[in-house]
Each structure stands twice: as C-alpha cells, then as structure tokens.
C-alpha cells in the first residue's frame, strides 16, 4: 500500500492546460511524489527520439525504450540509475513503421514480455500492430525474435499509448487534438490468431489539453494505478481496487509532478510503484525520476 495523504487539488475540470488553475481545497486521497530529479543523460547517440519507456520485471533497474518513427526494429535497455544504454536488442520478424510506445507485462502465464506498439500514423496511416517479445535473459547486445503479434483496426488514426495490465490485457488510447483519445481494450484472442481484430470503442479519455495527446502511458505492475503522459503533464489515476481500466480512464485524473522535456512522450512506473520515470526526445536527453514521498 502506498501512503495516502490530503493534498490541494484543482477541480477536475481544471485538468486542462494553457488555462488558469482554480484550486480548491478538497479532501482527496492521492499519493505524493517529489518534484523529480535528473538521473543522467542518455549516452548513446543512437537513441535520439525516445518515444516509449517501460521497466523490466526481471532485470532490476533496466528500462526498455525505442526510437520514434524512422529507426529500424530495435529496442534499447537503459540503466535506470545512470541513463547509460546497457544493450541494444534487434527485434527480429518485426517491422518498424512508427513505434510509439512500449510496455512490459505477463505472457505465457508466469513469464514476462515486452509489448511494442507500431501504431503511429507517421503521415502514411498507422500499421496497428502490437508485437510481443519475451524479456531477454541477459542484458547484452543481441536479437530477440517476436513471440507473437496482434493486428487490429479501429476508428482512430494514430496511437501513442500502449498499456498492459497484470493479467496481460492490452489497452490503447488514440492520440487526438485536445487529448480526448479513444480508449480501447484489445481482446487477447487476437494474439497469433492470424486475423485482424476489429476493435469497437466509443469511450474517451477525460482530459482536455491544447495539443495532440496523450503521448504514452503505463499501468503499474500491481495494476493499482495508471500514468498517462501528455505534452505538458503526467496524469495519474488510482484504480481504487477496480480492474476496469477503460472505465477508470473516463474519470478525471490527478496531475503529478513533471519536469518539462523536449517532446516528452515516454513515461514508466518503477516496478514497485514507488516512483516513475520520464524521458524526452532528442540527443542525450535527460532521464528523470520522481519518487513517492
Ligand atoms: C521470421 O522470418 C523468417 C525469415 O523471414 C521466416 O522464415 C520465419 O517464418 C519468420 N518467423 C515468424 C515466427 O514469423
Ligand atoms: C513457469 O511455469 C512453467 C510451467 O508451469 C514451469 O515449468 C516453469 O518452471 C515456471 N517458471 C518460473 C520462472 O516460475
Ligand atoms: C551494442 O550495440 C550498440 C549499437 O549497435 C553499439 O553502439 C555498442 O557498442 C554495442 N556494445 C557492445 C558491448 O558491443
Ligand atoms: C479513487 O478514490 C479517490 C479518493 O476517494 C477518488 O478521488 C477517485 O476519484 C477514485 N478514483 C476512481 C477511479 O474511482
């Protein structure tokens, strides 16, 4: 359990950006995180447009990340204590049109997999493929073959947010101007089915921004909370014991501390839920960490 305290919170309607905040004191339970600190800067010039981030469940202090569109099919293992790139993994049997987010979650019962979303538009329409690879045994340069892939269609053009819950269920949120992206749960029957899953959704994220949002997200390994990254903020939802991620994402979030980054799209929970990381795009970008206090 994370400690709960009372905080000064803006009204739900004020989770909008570029507008004034009208704070009001209400009793609200929410975790409090510090204002963040820079861990280091990414040392590899090959990781120059990080667009997703997820923490390994099997290797302590390892974060997986990847470049935005334009790179080949590969992911980077970043040391969460230094921002040093420890290894690069080529993902075989996968293509990269516009990889926009990455998540780590269970697969095959007791194993853990890395999930990669080739869901970005990149000007030519989204591929809408999610790849799954088993987490590597060792963090050293190598290749990882895909374990499975899921193809889907839906009523959205572009998606930067992929999340996986503790039972391996996949959730995506489309990127739209103003942030009210379409939220969808993709049924697990789509993995390796050989056919395309048609996802129906008419539920939207309950936020209001002045940019194309959201840009990334992560469900904590316990499944108890959600983070979503927008251009200007990190947003938080407490599941309060619910397992219905789609419904909870339709409620108003709480805004958490965030140090402004250049095109920051990447957010990840620390595996124990006691902190989170953000990473922006650009050469030698800083990796930031925010701790539960
Ligand atoms: C991976 O690619 C190779 C070579 O293109 C192909 O022979 C093989 O069937 C592919 N495997 C899967 C699982 O798609
Ligand atoms: C995972 O489950 C399989 C089959 O139940 C078992 O053989 C294997 O040892 C388990 N692995 C771990 C790491 O617990
Ligand atoms: C691992 O691969 C990266 C990128 O391809 C390269 O820059 C780095 O030198 C390699 N590291 C080792 C230890 O070979
Ligand atoms: C969770 O509980 C808190 C505190 O009671 C409440 O503010 C919040 O809206 C709840 N969230 C959901 C998704 O029910």
44-65 residue pLDDT tens: 999 999 999 999 999 999 999 9
Average pLDDT over residues 102-111: 96
At residue 16, the pLDDT reads 39
Cα 237 to ligand 4 centroid, rounded to whole Å: 8
Ligand 4 mutation pick, 25, 29, 242, max ligand atoms within 8 A of CB: 29
Domain chopping of the chain, boundaries:
37-282
Cα 208 to ligand 4 centroid, rounded to whole Å: 19
- Tell me the average pLDDT of the chain: 91
Ligand 2 pocket: which residues have CB below 6 Å?
A: 109-110
Distance CA 49, CA 53 (A): 12
- Cis before residue 92, ω within 30 degrees of 0? no
Q: C-alpha distances in angstroms, 170 versus 26, 93, 107, 163, 191?
A: 34, 21, 11, 6, 11
Q: What percent of the chain has pLDDT over 70?
A: 90
* CATH T-level assignment (fold) for domain 37-282: Neuraminidase (2.120.10)
At residue 6, the pLDDT reads 37
Q: Choose between 221 and 23: higher pLDDT.
A: 221
Per this entry, what is the length of the chain? 293
Ligand 2 mutation pick, 59, 108, 110, max ligand atoms within 8 A of CB: 110
* Lowest-confidence region among 3-7, 69-73, 211-215, 287-291: 3-7
Phi-psi region of 191 (alpha: psi -120 to 50; beta: other; left: phi over 0): beta
Contact 282, 262 (CB under 8 A): yes
Cα 113 to ligand 2 centroid, rounded to whole Å: 14
Q: Residue 147: nearest ligand to its CA?
A: 1
At residue 72, the pLDDT reads 95
Strand 111-118 vs strand 170-174: parallel, antiparallel, or unpaired? Answer: unpaired
pLDDT tens digit sequence for 254-279? 999 999 999 999 999 999 999 999 99
pLDDT tens digit sequence for 112-144? 999 999 999 988 899 999 999 999 999 999 999
Q: Is the C-beta atom of 225 inside 6 A of ligand 4?
A: no
At residue 23, the pLDDT reads 39
pLDDT grade for 229, boundaries at 50, 70 and 90:
very high
pLDDT tens digit sequence for 151-189? 999 999 999 999 999 999 999 999 999 999 999 999 888
At residue 29, the pLDDT reads 57
Ligand 3 mutation pick, 88, 91, 144, max ligand atoms within 8 A of CB: 88
pLDDT tens digit sequence for 10-42? 333 334 333 333 333 433 457 899 999 999 999
Nearest Cα to Cα of residue 135 among 84, 194, 60: 60
pTM of the predicted protein model:
0.88
Sheet-wide strand order for 62-67:
50-55, 62-67, 74-79, 85-92, 142-145
């Amino acid at each position: 359990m994370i400690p709960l305290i009372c905080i000064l919170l803006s009204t739900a309607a004020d989770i909008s950006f570029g507008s004034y905040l009208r704070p009001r004191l209400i009793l609200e339970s929410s975790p409090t995180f510090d204002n963040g600190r820079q861990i280091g800067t990414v040392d590899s010039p090959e990781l120059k447009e990080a667009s997703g981030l997820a923490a390994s469940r099997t290797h302590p202090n390892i974060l997986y990340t990847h470049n935005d569109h334009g790179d080949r099919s590969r992911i980077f293992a970043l040391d969460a204590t230094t921002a040093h790139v420890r290894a690069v993994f080529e993902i075989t049997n996968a293509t990269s049109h516009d990889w926009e987010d990455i998540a780590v979650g269970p697969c095959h019962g007791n194993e853990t997999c890395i999930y990669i979303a080739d869901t970005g538009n990149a000007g030519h329409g989204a591929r809408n493929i999610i790849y799954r690879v088993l987490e590597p045994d060792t963090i050293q340069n190598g290749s990882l073959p895909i374990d499975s892939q899921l193809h889907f269609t839906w009523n959205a053009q572009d998606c930067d947010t992929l999340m996986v819950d503790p039972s391996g269920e996949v959730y995506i949120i489309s990127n739209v101007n103003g942030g009210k992206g379409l939220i969808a749960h993709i049924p697990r029957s789509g993995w390796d089915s050989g056919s395309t899953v048609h996802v129906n959704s008419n539920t939207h994220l309950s936020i209001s921004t002045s940019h194309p949002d959201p840009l990334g997200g992560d469900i904590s390994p316990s499944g108890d909370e959600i983070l979503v990254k927008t251009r200007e903020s990190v947003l938080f939802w407490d599941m309060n014991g619910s397992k219905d991620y789609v419904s909870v994402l339709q409620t108003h979030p709480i805004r958490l501390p965030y140090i402004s980054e250049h095109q920051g799209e990447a957010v990840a929970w620390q595996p124990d839920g006691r902190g989170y990381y953000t990473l922006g795009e650009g050469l030698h970008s800083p990796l930031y960490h925010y701790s539960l206090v």
